Structure 1
Amino acid sequence: MKRIGYLGPPGTFSEEAARRHRGNGEGELVACGSLEEVFARLETGSLEEGVVPVENSSEGAVSVVLDMLAAHPELTVRGEVVMQVVHSLLVPPGVKLEMVEKVLSHPQALAQCRTFLRQKLAGVELQECASTAAAAALAARCRRPWAALAPLSAASRYNLQVLIPAANDCPHNKTRFWALGRKKVLSPAPPCKTSLIFGVRHRPGALYRVLREFAVREINLTRIESRPSKKGLGDYIFFLDFEGAAGDPVVKEMLDVLTEEHTTTLRVLGSYHVVQE
């Protein structure tokens, strides 16, 4: 049976994304203690797939995931899940808002609830945890008036009370998750996207020349992101997503042009089906 890893413990948004990626198919969901563990187990082969967050509509890219993906050329993107993300403020039974001494959560969740925390819990200590569910588990066992920002479903799982059902600042808060693995999807079902990593030469208009190849072929870009190459100050690689599959004749011809004329390196991360909530 296929093993699908995600950032655990059970009850995280990553677990729900992994379930949606699996759909009605077979697959054992495996909770991992960190995103680094997901990548390490993919590398050793103890997981066939790993589902990781890659971008949030409020806070942008999950940089650590992009950097690890760039460092693992054997991995490919096999699927995408886009989910509405609502952070609930959960507390042990009987705890009221004015009693809360500390708020626990993943750094991304704390950032996505920044305004709420400043207005409703000003001065309360914030503590980062490995995941939202790990925060809920800690709040449940600490025997202190500590709160967790976590999925609503974590309340019943960890015997917590829902104090604020929706604490995130943006009501349309969404996160993209990628399913990673070693085997590329040859013919992804529509709607599908393709993702690339590439570098360009240090010359005027280098990035423009790359983007122009998409424009003249009317290929729609959905994201472009730069990250340090880690080779030197001012040297960057680019992550780019677009609509369509790498096997499409027009796309294939364009990728050949990019490789031969406009980029120093180019890696197709994969073409994949997108599951929208």
Structure 2
Amino acid sequence: MTVITLGPEGTFSHELALRLKSDTIVLEPTIHSIFASVAAENGDGIVPIENSEAGGVGETLDGLLRYSLFITGEMYMPIHHNLASLVPRDKIRVIYAHPQTHEQCSGFLEIMEVPVIHTSSNAASAIEAKKTPNAGAILSVSAAAIYHMPVIVEHVENNPENTTRFVRIAKHPGPGCRSGKCSILIDPDTDRAGLLYDLLGVFAKRKINLTRIESRPSKRGMGKYVFFLDYAISGPADEALRELEAITAVRNLGCYPRIGVPP
């Protein structure tokens, strides 16, 4: 199987694809380009969708909104960040970090009291830091090794339990499963009092466990939102979806299992 994920080499997405022993790994420069490549049926994609510290990944949610693709699996990966540099800590005058990485390491970066420049990936942080005098980068251990940057401070993440949830995306839905999650996209065509209460109520009265809900701008103007919902696979779920579809527009993003990640 060809897996398309975020590059260059040394990103957490690339590390995950390696751990899953993918047959062929294609690295794309942005999450948007991963979605476009999967939509063109060049392979399946692996993208981060949420982090325990920084929350949802906007680019991935926007990709699910824009492209008619499906989620076919989810994976959880512990995330540990490190400060790497070619100079000692007291000589660092700027630090490169991905925006999500910045959020996950905000406490440490505030203590450093140097400017933080955002990059497109952790690997890109390493590349930029190597080109800039007196620079550091927030990296994984594997990225630091790939780009030959010494780690000078380990585990700079805010929370030692820091975890990112990734999803596998595909042009076609998966075969289905009896346990796991389902994801849907709700796009309300009206704005009225009690709408969200009604939407969630179809699950609550059937005791279906909602594991995640997140709003995202619909791109159609201020105050217009879509909602991403994940729920545990349950017997009454089909009935709940039929009731939900009578209230508003719903797009099924797929039902899928959790995939174990080898250490």
Measured against the shorter chain, the TM-score band is over 0.9
How many residues align? The count is 260
After TM superposition, what 4+ stretches of structure 1 lie above 3 angstroms from structure 2? none
Q: Is the 8 A contact 2:208 2:236 kept in 1?
A: no
Q: Is the 8 A contact 1:83 1:276 kept in 2?
A: no
Hey, what's the Cα distance between the residues in 2 that align with 1:107 and 1:37? 18
Question: Structure 2 residue aligned with 1:41, among 37, 45, 55?
Answer: 37
Q: In the TM superposition, what whole-angstrom CA distance separates every residue of 1:155-207 from its partner, at most 9, and x where no partner exists?
A: 221111111111111222111111111111122364x1000001233222211
Question: Structure 2 residue aligned with 1:132, among 122, 126, 135?
Answer: 122
RMSD over aligned Cα atoms: 1.7
- Give the equivalent residue in structure 2 for 1:184: 173
Q: Which secondary structure state, in structure 2, belongs to the residue aligned with residue 202 of structure 1?
A: coil
Question: Structure 2 residue aligned with 1:256, among 242, 250, 254?
Answer: 242
Hey, what's the Cα distance between the residues in 2 that align with 1:229 and 1:160? 41
**One-letter amino acid of the counterpart of residue 253, structure 2:** L
Q: After the TM superposition, which residues 9-88 of structure 1 pair with which residues of structure 2 at under 5 Å, given as runs?
A: 9-20=8-19, 23=20, 27-46=23-42, 48-73=43-68, 75-88=69-82
Hey, what's the Cα distance between the residues in 1 that align with 2:97 and 2:177? 35
Relative distance call for 1:72 and 1:211 in structure 2 (3 A) is same
Q: Is the 8 A contact 1:4 1:49 kept in 2?
A: yes
Hey, what's the Cα distance between the residues in 2 that align with 1:9 and 1:214? 41
Q: Which secondary structure state, in structure 2, belongs to the residue aligned with residue 38 of structure 1?
A: helix
Hey, what's the Cα distance between the residues in 1 that align with 2:132 and 2:217? 43
**One-letter amino acid of the counterpart of residue 32, structure 1:** E
**What are structure 2's unaligned runs of at least 5 residues?**
none
Q: After the TM superposition, which residues 137-156 of structure 1 pair with which residues of structure 2 at under 5 Å, given as runs?
A: 137-140=127-130, 142=131, 144-156=133-145
Q: Which secondary structure state, in structure 2, belongs to the residue aligned with residue 30 of structure 1?
A: strand
Question: Structure 2 residue aligned with 1:100, among 51, 74, 92?
Answer: 92
Hey, what's the Cα distance between the residues in 2 that align with 1:155 and 1:189? 40
Hey, what's the Cα distance between the residues in 2 that align with 1:232 and 1:148? 37
Q: Which secondary structure state, in structure 2, belongs to the residue aligned with residue 136 of structure 1?
A: helix
**What are structure 1's unaligned runs of at least 5 residues?**
none
Hey, what's the Cα distance between the residues in 2 that align with 1:143 and 1:183? 44
Hey, what's the Cα distance between the residues in 2 that align with 1:32 and 1:14? 11
Hey, what's the Cα distance between the residues in 2 that align with 1:14 and 1:82? 11
**One-letter amino acid of the counterpart of residue 56, structure 1:** N
